[in-house]
Structure 1
Amino acid sequence: MNRMALVFPGQGSQYVGMGTAWHSGFTEADRLFEEAADILGYDLKALCMAGPITQLSRTFYTQPALLTISVIAFRRYMHEIGMIPEFSAGHSLGEYSALVSSGVLAFGDALRLVQERGRFMEEAAVAKLGSMIAVRGAEPGAVEEFCRLHSTVDQPAVIACYNSPNQYVVSGHRTSVAVVAGELEQRGAQITRLQVSGPFHSPLMQHAADRLAAELQRYTLNEAKWPVISNVTAQPYPDVDSIRQGLILQMTQPVRWIQTMQYMANHGVKQGVELGPRTVLKNLAKEINTAIEVLSLDRDLDRVELERRFSIRNWIACSLSLAVSTPNANWNEDEYRKGVILPVRRLEELLRNSESGSGPLPAAEQRLEILECIRLVLQTKQVSEGEQKVMLEHLRREQDGAISNFN
């Protein structure tokens, strides 16, 4: 089976007009924007659609904006594709989007949390003592060693993000980071100074982390519907308490994105879907060079390919064919009517609705109902448990789509 993961981008992916192509005309998007405006006290949709970019790029505004756009993307994905993922993961801020997607955090609670998180991070950076750089063309061991050599307790420099084998981010006190940058440039590395408001994912964020720890106590976290992978450990969170701790540690610890993608690949994930603005995580996946291919909802060709691979109409047709063609060994008319005829009629109705574009149910709900219909048909026709398992596994493979070298 080609397992799927949902991935959510973090700060730096924002742009004016983000998500227009896939939230325009989606009524759920309007509802979420309205909820966001009520919670935040300003028109988030107007900021996302019209800017200005100077405001949209301020951490205090960026974080609620990216969370909202990513949650809209997830809701659109579930409405039109509806494949339940094996895992979800988010890069830095994107971890909050991943937690909303899996049901750990309610959207409104997550929005309030990231607004405060953005405030804490901005206020921690007000002294302007920190900076961040992106590093290309250097071995991670060399970057780690230079950070160690040129750090002090008061002026740290650390790797903030393990983004890909070709890209690392260093964060910390501007003096130490500048020395590390100079050392790496002398050895041929490419350095980009990032336009950010603070030294994120470094020890200089400890005060902000302490404030976030107190804020987190105000919110209820639920059990995840599917595993969410921690930025800090690159492992799925085992329980709710570990999620709280992970979100606090994330403020001062590095984002282990390489390790996150490798964990998913090692556990059978072949397909990733990036839900949010731009294609940053899609591009990093290529550099990490695992077996995972990422399609981005923010890229027109990728959206078309997602719809082709995971067409709900095609899957209903496959399911209907299986229901009709499976031999029957049950001659009880009443059981046959309830357990075969009625489920087949329901599948036919879902297929007609899908072909006409009038289906009232989101794709995720349809997929669950289809599986229940098929199980009922197979049980009623008295198919053995072993054969049922094989048939359902084959049907799930049909649902998983065709993985290709699509770019």
Structure 2
Amino acid sequence: MNRIALVFPGQGSQYVGMGATWHSGFAEADCLFEEAADILGYDLKALCMAGPMTKLSRTFYTQPALLTISVIAFRRYMHEIGIIPEFSAGHSLGEYSALVSSGVLSFGDALRLVQERGRFMEEAAMTKLGSMIAIRGAELGEVEECCRLYSTVDQPAAIACYNSPSQNVVSGHHTSVALAAGELEQRGAQITRLQVSGPFHSPLMQPAADRLAEELQKYTLNEAKWPVISNVTAQPYRDLDSIRQGLILQMTHPVRWIQTVQYMMNHGVKQGIELGPRTVLKNLVREISPNIEVLSLDRDLDRFELGRRFSIRDWIACSLSLAVSTPNANWNEDEYRKGVILPVRRLEKLLRNLQSGSSSPPASEQRQEILECICLVLQTKQVSEGERKAMLEQLRRDQDGAVSNLS
């Protein structure tokens, strides 16, 4: 069974003007930018759209900016596509966006949290003792060996991100990281020194993790609407306490992105949708598994394909066809009028509104209403439970891979 996962990028995906091509003219974007300005005390939209890049790349500013752009992307996805995912997951900072998407954190609370998270991380890095490198062309065992070889308690070096089979990131004390980098280069690996403000996802971030643990106590978490996969365990969070603990551990533990993608793949995910700037996760997933395709909202061709593949108009048309063509076994006129005629008329009205360009509810709301209509029609026509499930599954398949919670 094909399933959808929503994925959210982390720090490093930011750029000046990010998302302008798809959030310009989207009313919810302006509302979120206004809310962000009220909370943060500065014009976040101006920073995102005009820079300067030197300021946008500062962790303290990057984290609220990326969260906001990713949440805008999610809101647009729900407005235009609206399919409930099987999972959501984010890379590092992106995990906060994933938690907002699932309703665990409100946008405002997440924004306050990541602003403080960025502050804690910057202040923990003020000693200038840490650095990070990205490594390609080395086996995982070689990277782990070099980290063990040159890491000490006072000068640690550890894998910070398991990004893909061909890319890992090492973080820690600059002396140990430099020695590990030199060893790996001699073995033929390609090393990229990352332009970041600190040794993220390493033991050197423990002071920031301690402060985040205190900060998290100020916020109320809500039950998730769908599972969010933890960076630390590469498993869905079990409960709210595990979310709090996971966000703290994330500061000093590696991002297990390879394992996260493998978990999704093992649980039937075939389609990923990247919500945020750039296509970093799309590219990483392609390296991890050929069985999951990721479409990125920040890529013009992918946005077009999203609209084509998951067309709400097609969903209504297929549902309407199923409702009309299914044989009836209920001859109670009153039940037939309420349970068949009225739902069919509602589907016809929704389709007419879309075809005429009239204002319509968000796609997420329409999909729920359409599902309720078609389920009522099938039940009223006295279709057996087994046949109903088969019809709904076929309806899902007819939409070119689109999925929903149909059972």
User: How high is the TM-score relative to the length of structure 2?
Assistant: 0.98
Question: Which residue in the other structure is 1:231 paired with?
Answer: 231
Question: Which residue in the other structure is 1:294 paired with?
Answer: 294
Distance 1:40 1:50 in 2: 17
Q: Secondary structure at the match of 2:277?
A: coil
What is the deviation of 1:353?
A: 1.2
What is the deviation of 1:392?
A: 1.5
What is the deviation of 1:50?
A: 0.3
Question: Which residue in the other structure is 2:310 paired with?
Answer: 310
Deviations 1:329-354 (A, max 9, x none): 11111111111111000000111111
Distance 1:12 1:391 in 2: 44
Matched residue pairs, number?
403
Distance 2:284 2:246 in 1: 23
Distance 1:24 1:398 in 2: 32
Question: Which residue in the other structure is 2:354 paired with?
Answer: 354
Which amino acid in 2 is paired with 1:125? A
What is the deviation of 1:225?
A: 0.6
Question: Which residue in the other structure is 1:67 paired with?
Answer: 67
Question: Which residue in the other structure is 1:140 paired with?
Answer: 140
Which amino acid in 1 is paired with 2:315? W
Question: Which residue in the other structure is 1:46 paired with?
Answer: 46
Which amino acid in 1 is paired with 2:371? L
Distance 2:159 2:400 in 1: 37
Distance 1:43 1:400 in 2: 41
Matched, 1:155 2:161: no
* Contact 1:160 1:202 survives alignment (8 Å): yes
Matched, 1:196 2:196: yes
Distance 2:289 2:339 in 1: 47
Question: Which residue in the other structure is 1:328 paired with?
Answer: 328
Which amino acid in 2 is paired with 1:71? V
Question: Which residue in the other structure is 1:251 paired with?
Answer: 251
Question: Which residue in the other structure is 1:124 paired with?
Answer: 124
Which amino acid in 2 is paired with 1:273? I
Deviations 1:102-144 (A, max 9, x none): 0000000000000000000000000100000000000111101
Which amino acid in 2 is paired with 1:67? L
Matched, 1:269 2:269: yes
* Contact 2:396 2:402 survives alignment (8 Å): no
* Contact 1:28 1:75 survives alignment (8 Å): yes
Q: Secondary structure at the match of 2:158?
A: strand
Listed as ranges, the gaps of 5+ residues in structure 1 are: none
Distance 1:398 1:106 in 2: 35
Question: Which residue in the other structure is 1:100 paired with?
Answer: 100
Which amino acid in 2 is paired with 1:345? R
Question: Which residue in the other structure is 2:9 paired with?
Answer: 9
| CA RMSD, 1 decimal | 1.0
Identity %: 87
Question: Which residue in the other structure is 2:278 paired with?
Answer: 278
Deviations 1:178-209 (A, max 9, x none): 00000000000000000000000000000000
Distance 1:213 1:397 in 2: 45
Q: Secondary structure at the match of 2:163?
A: strand
Deviations 1:73-101 (A, max 9, x none): 00000000011111000000000000000
What is the deviation of 1:358?
A: 2.0
Question: Which residue in the other structure is 1:84 paired with?
Answer: 84
What is the deviation of 1:357?
A: 2.5
Runs of 4+ in 1 over 3 A off after TM superposition: none
Which amino acid in 1 is paired with 2:72? I
What is the deviation of 1:402?
A: 7.0
Distance 2:332 2:51 in 1: 66
* Contact 1:129 1:174 survives alignment (8 Å): yes
Further displaced range: 203-212 or 328-337: 328-337
Distance 1:211 1:284 in 2: 31
Question: Which residue in the other structure is 1:241 paired with?
Answer: 241
Listed as ranges, the gaps of 5+ residues in structure 2 are: none
* Contact 1:265 1:290 survives alignment (8 Å): no
What is the deviation of 1:393?
A: 1.8
What is the deviation of 1:356?
A: 2.1
Q: Secondary structure at the match of 1:219?
A: coil
Which amino acid in 2 is paired with 1:116? E
User: How high is the TM-score relative to the length of structure 1?
Assistant: 0.98
Deviations 1:293-348 (A, max 9, x none): 00000000000001111000001000000000111111111111111111000000
What is the deviation of 1:400?
A: 5.6
Q: Secondary structure at the match of 1:135?
A: strand
* Contact 1:209 1:248 survives alignment (8 Å): yes
Question: Which residue in the other structure is 1:391 paired with?
Answer: 391
